[in-house]
């Protein structure tokens, strides 16, 4: 938390070394804001930090599809329905989600975390005038890496892009919306709007925390000591998350904007609404258990 705030406020980080490396590393000067560590490809930390966000996506997807679907981390591309892939192809996808697509196809996901700054703290080309420019570069690269997933068929490539400052690409936002819809279908009809909102907020919190853990650990030059493991129980029951529901139902805004106009501005309304939804969920669960 303190590291995330320091990054946000451009305050120096408590770094031990002033050189990158020596091994692995490029030997270059390390700045006190962590910009070098967050963009240097020579330390090996960029690939390791991606794991933290990747595992958060696996957890979110598993909570969403439950027993009706399946989430396979580190799936071989040749094990999907993508056409024209040789059986000995060694490309892997970060996660493949079955049971969340309306057409029944596999969602082949590649999670990526990019920095809009270079190793020297300078903006990457195009990022000053164009928000999310590096996300689009990453999307193009991933599409080029998996051309088979864009050549028709039931499977789809989803590049789940995020920036070290906390920005998420459109695809990531759409996926959370779709997963919340899938998860809410298993709630009683009267609670679906509240359930959608609650799961959405829970999952954005999960993803945002994972992203900041990944950023902080990389900025300090070390991998996060204990990344949350993906193979965890399928998540809490609905009545445990309904407290997170927004008063006015699910937000259609970007993750950061969801904070506005909900808990902070209408705490009474939110409490009343979630208490009502909460007791409804309990009532339905108790009735089901009795019946």
Question: Which parts of this chain interact with Zn ion (CB under 5 A)?
Answer: 20, 26, 28, 40, 42
**How many helices and strands, by DSSP H and E, does the chain display?**
8, 4
Give min distance, CB of 27 to Zn ion, in A. Answer: 7
Give min distance, CB of 44 to Zn ion, in A. Answer: 10
H helical segments located in 230-266: 238-241
The C-alpha atoms of residue 199 and residue 197 are separated, in whole angstroms, by: 6
Give min distance, CB of 20 to Zn ion, in A. Answer: 3
The C-alpha atoms of residue 21 and residue 61 are separated, in whole angstroms, by: 36
Between β-strands 107-114 and 92-98, what pairing exists: parallel, antiparallel or unpaired?
A: antiparallel
Give min distance, CB of 279 to Zn ion, in A. Answer: 55
β-bridge mates for residue 32, sequence order: none
β-bridge mates for residue 70, sequence order: 98
Give min distance, CB of 31 to Zn ion, in A. Answer: 11
- For residue 77, the tally of other CB atoms under 10 A from its CB is 20
Long-range contacts of 144-150 (CB under 8 A, 24+ apart): 145/91, 145/110, 146/77, 146/82, 146/91, 146/93, 146/108, 146/110, 148/77, 148/82, 148/83, 148/84, 148/85, 149/77, 149/80, 149/82, 149/108
Give min distance, CB of 25 to Zn ion, in A. Answer: 5
72 token code pair: 């396979």
The C-alpha atoms of residue 233 and residue 284 are separated, in whole angstroms, by: 23
CA–CA–CA angle 173, 59, 214 (5° rounding): 75
Residue 266 carries which DSSP code?
A: -
- In this complex, which beta carbon is closest to Zn ion, that of residue 29 or of residue 271? 29
12 token code pair: 């120096």
Distance (Å) of CA 40 to CA 21, 27, 133, 287: 10, 10, 19, 57
- In this complex, which beta carbon is closest to Zn ion, that of residue 41 or of residue 123? 41
- In this complex, which beta carbon is closest to Zn ion, that of residue 20 or of residue 191? 20
């Amino acid at each position: 938390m303190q590291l995330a705030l320091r990054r946000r406020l451009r305050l120096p980080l408590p770094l031990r070394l002033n050189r990158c490396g020596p091994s692995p590393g490029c030997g270059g000067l390390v700045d006190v804001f962590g910009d070098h560590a967050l963009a240097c490809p020579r330390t090996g930390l960029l690939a390791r930090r991606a794991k933290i966000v990747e595992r958060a996506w696996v957890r979110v997807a598993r909570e969403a599809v439950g027993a009706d679907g399946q989430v396979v981390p580190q799936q071989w591309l040749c094990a999907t329905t993508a056409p024209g892939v040789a059986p000995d192809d060694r490309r892997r996808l970060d996660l493949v989600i079955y049971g969340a697509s309306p057409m029944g196809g596999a969602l082949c996901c590649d999670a990526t975390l990019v920095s809009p700054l270079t190793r020297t703290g300078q903006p990457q080309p195009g990022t000053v005038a164009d928000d999310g420019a590096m996300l689009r570069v990453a999307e193009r690269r991933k599409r080029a890496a998996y051309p088979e997933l864009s050549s028709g068929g039931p499977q789809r490539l989803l590049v789940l892009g995020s920036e070290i400052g906390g920005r998420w690409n459109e695809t990531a936002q759409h996926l959370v919306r779709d997963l919340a819809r899938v998860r809410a279908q298993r709630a009683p009809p009267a609670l679906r709007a509240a359930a959608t909102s609650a799961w959405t907020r829970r999952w954005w919190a999960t993803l945002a925390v994972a992203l900041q853990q990944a950023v902080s650990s990389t900025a300090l030059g070390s991998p996060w000591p204990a990344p949350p493991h993906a193979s965890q129980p399928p998540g809490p029951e609905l009545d445990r998350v309904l407290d997170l529901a927004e008063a006015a139902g699910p937000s259609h805004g970007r993750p950061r904007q969801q904070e506005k106009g909900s808990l902070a501005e209408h705490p009474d309304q939110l409490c009343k609404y979630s208490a009502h939804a909460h007791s409804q969920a309990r009532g339905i669960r108790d009735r089901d258990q009795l019946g």
